[in-house]
A = this chain, B = another copy of it.
Amino acid sequence: MIGKLNHVAIAVPDLEAASATYRDTLGAEVSAPLDQPDHGVTVVFITLPNTKMELLHPLGEKSPIQGFLDKNPAGGIHHVCYEVEDILAARDRLKAQGLRVLGDGNPKIGAHGKPVLFLHPKDLYGTLVELEQV
> For the complex formed by this chain, how many copies does it contain in all?
2
- For residue A45, give the distance in angstroms from its CB to the closest CB of chain B: 13
- For residue A130, give the distance in angstroms from its CB to the closest CB of chain B: 13
Which of A55, A123, A125 has most chain B Cβ within 10 Å? A125
Interface string of A98-134 (1 = CB under 8 A from B): 0100000000000000000000011111110000000
Residues of B near A43 (CB, < 8 A) are none
Known: A4-B48, A5-B53, A50-B4. A76 touches B13 (CB 8 A): no
- Number of contacting residues on A, CB 8 A? 42
Judging by beta carbons under 8 Å apart, are B26 and A125 in contact?
Answer: no
Judging by beta carbons under 8 Å apart, are A8 and B8 in contact?
Answer: yes
Interface string of A48-74 (1 = CB under 8 A from B): 111101010000000000000000101
Q: Is A87's beta carbon under 8 Å from chain B?
A: no
Which of A74, A97, A99 has most chain B Cβ within 10 Å? A74
